[in-house]
Structure 1
Amino acid sequence: MNNTPIKTHIIDAGYTLAGILFCGFALKSFLVPNSFFDGGVTGISLLIHELYHVNIAYVIIIANIPFILMGAFQVNKTFALRTLAAIIGLALCLHFLPATQITSDKLLVSIFGGVFMGIGIGLAIRGGCALDGIEVLALYTGKRISFTISEIILGINIVIFLIAAIKLGLPTALYSILTYYTASRMINFVIEGLEEYTGVTIISGQSEVIKERLVMKLGRGITVYKGERGFLPESFDVSHPVDIVFTVVTRLELRRLRNMIHEIDPKAFVFTSVVKEAAGGVLKRRARH
């Protein structure tokens, strides 16, 4: 009997539970006691809570319901059910978790509130759900207008922070923007991790040696393009056939790869590009999210 699905569900549940606890801690110990905000649906919930003094636990559930329903159509029903369970779990955490204000220093609140919030949301995404429905809205809207998802999210957050600036003052809004930025960077780090992939293209006259080292020594898969090198200003008519080597490595392996190439051919032309998604081939197995 294959136990992989059961193991996967347990791991996903662990990620989600950890995400809920981190988000609950960020909200109860940093953001809520200091009247700070975040972006997205969480930011809207915090703004409503601050302006109308409605229990944040109830507001977060009600504010996310439209986006959960949207997620059922835009992603799938499993995602929507997981997100609903995670949002309810976060609401329970906010309702029962004792409020302990860690600090009132605005800079510390904005940075570490964002750090813990970003860790929580990132872990929930790794668990296959969302603790903030703003990206579902952006995905839904992006199919109907010509803006990208990032532009839509940015536009919504600008409106949130403008309202916060008008109602609660510019300093609070500015510190909240710092919170949002910190959280977004942490989300990217948690999702991508230290194994964020980088594409490397190598053009060298020593391509045969480089190919052998990449495969046999580093254990990387490679793709080879047939091309020509040369075409310099002083000898434009002179060119040579060359194998253009492309491979994908993690950030931790990039320095080792560059050193190896420099050792073989100091004049090799090497350029890198960020790989947002990578699967299959000869890649290290990474956490599913």
Structure 2
Amino acid sequence: MNINRTIVKNIALNFIGALVYALAINSFLIPSKLGEGGVTGLMTIFYYWIGFPPALTNLILNGILLFVGWKMLSKQTVLYTIVAIASISFWLKLTSQIQFKLHDPLVAAIIGGVLMGIAMGIIMKGEGTTAGSTILAKIMNKYFGIKTGSAMLGFDLLVAVPSFVLIGFENMLLTIIELYISAVVLNKMLEAFIAKRAFTIISDKSETIAQALSNLNQTGITLLDGHGYVSGQPKKIIYCVCEAKLQVKVMDKIAQIDSTAFVVLDEVRSAYGNNLIKLL
């Protein structure tokens, strides 16, 4: 039942993310004649150049890139990506008439960038990708540890910069601004989704605290042997990694058991292991 709920949730996230993605393109980027990066950038270029439907371009080009993803990424990610691509094409067709022609194209670039970052964040939360440069970015993330949003920005610029031939130099610069904003928003969303906190706790009641945190966090707690440099007394040091949302509860639990405990709290960018998350 839990597996079925996860599948339904991920499909729903990919479908919703695809809607936001399509609105960013149809409602803000295309009306202001802004480009994009990767396959989406090629999609807008073909539209400006020969009027080729973005929904069809999305299916064709991303279908080709899926063969690369099938070899390099997990089959689960690829299958959810197929859902995302099909949903994007569906929404691109359905929302093609929803356009906002803003007087200032910079505003369109900012709004479009924010929406694109949010859309990709939602889709990746649903374990999918938008294919295109996202697949390449996922591969760079998996094998080289580069942040997904940053890797996407690099690949997207390879398409965005030459697009000035069709959209003009000024719009090309605005496109780069939009890509940068989307990369920043995506990185922030991914960090929020998998935010972790690491606690290092030194206390005379280490066993009691460890048991309480284990019940609260439902993950393993590590006890390390140590001793005070000045006192020479042996100490048990607790090391615990938990979700960011549990930070306040963990601090309260420690204070209830031992108000004199020494606690060091760190933000965790990445964690590997059982039930933990990979690099962003």
When the two structures are superposed, what TM-score results if normalisation uses the length of structure 1? 0.73
Structure 1: which 5+ runs fail to align? none
Q: Which residue of 2 aligns with 1:243?
A: 236
Q: Distance in 1 between matches of 2:69 and 2:164?
A: 30
Deviation at 1:47, TM superposition (A): 3.6
Q: Which residue of 1 aligns with 2:125?
A: 126
Equivalent residue letter for 2:37: G
Deviation at 1:81, TM superposition (A): 4.5
Deviation at 1:28, TM superposition (A): 0.9
Deviation at 1:38, TM superposition (A): 3.5
Do residues 222 (structure 1) and 216 (structure 2) align?
A: no
Q: Distance in 2 between matches of 1:142 and 1:260?
A: 36
Q: Distance in 2 between matches of 1:116 and 1:220?
A: 35
Equivalent residue letter for 1:39: G
Q: Structure 1 residues 140 and 116, CA, compared in 2 at 3 Å: closer, same or farther?
A: closer
Deviation at 1:101, TM superposition (A): 2.6
Is 2:18–2:88's contact at 8 Å kept on the other side of the alignment?
A: yes
Q: Structure 1 residues 126 and 246, CA, compared in 2 at 3 Å: closer, same or farther?
A: same
Deviation at 1:96, TM superposition (A): 3.2
Structure 2: which 5+ runs fail to align? none
Q: Give SS of 1:100's match.
A: coil
Alignment of 1:1-289 (within 5 A): 3-77=1-75, 79-102=77-100, 104=102, 105-138=104-137, 148=146, 153-165=152-164, 168-188=167-187, 190-191=189-190, 193=192, 196-204=195-203, 207=206, 210-211=209-210, 214-215=213-214, 221-230=220-229, 239-255=232-248, 257-258=250-251, 264=258, 268=262, 270-277=264-271, 280=274
Deviation at 1:275, TM superposition (A): 4.6
Q: Distance in 1 between matches of 2:190 and 2:210?
A: 31
Equivalent residue letter for 1:75: L
Equivalent residue letter for 1:121: M
Q: Distance in 1 between matches of 2:235 and 2:267?
A: 21
Q: Structure 1 residues 183 and 224, CA, compared in 2 at 3 Å: closer, same or farther?
A: same
Q: Distance in 1 between matches of 2:159 and 2:13?
A: 29
When the two structures are superposed, what TM-score results if normalisation uses the length of structure 2? 0.75
Q: Structure 1 residues 71 and 221, CA, compared in 2 at 3 Å: closer, same or farther?
A: same
Identity %: 24
Equivalent residue letter for 2:175: S
Equivalent residue letter for 1:196: A
Is 2:66–2:131's contact at 8 Å kept on the other side of the alignment?
A: no
Is 2:197–2:266's contact at 8 Å kept on the other side of the alignment?
A: yes
Q: Distance in 2 between matches of 1:69 and 1:218?
A: 40
Q: Give SS of 1:276's match.
A: coil
Q: Is the deviation greater in 27-36 or in 106-115?
A: 106-115
CA RMSD of aligned residues (A): 3.8
Q: Distance in 1 between matches of 2:96 and 2:46?
A: 21
Equivalent residue letter for 2:14: T
Q: Distance in 2 between matches of 1:218 and 1:149?
A: 27
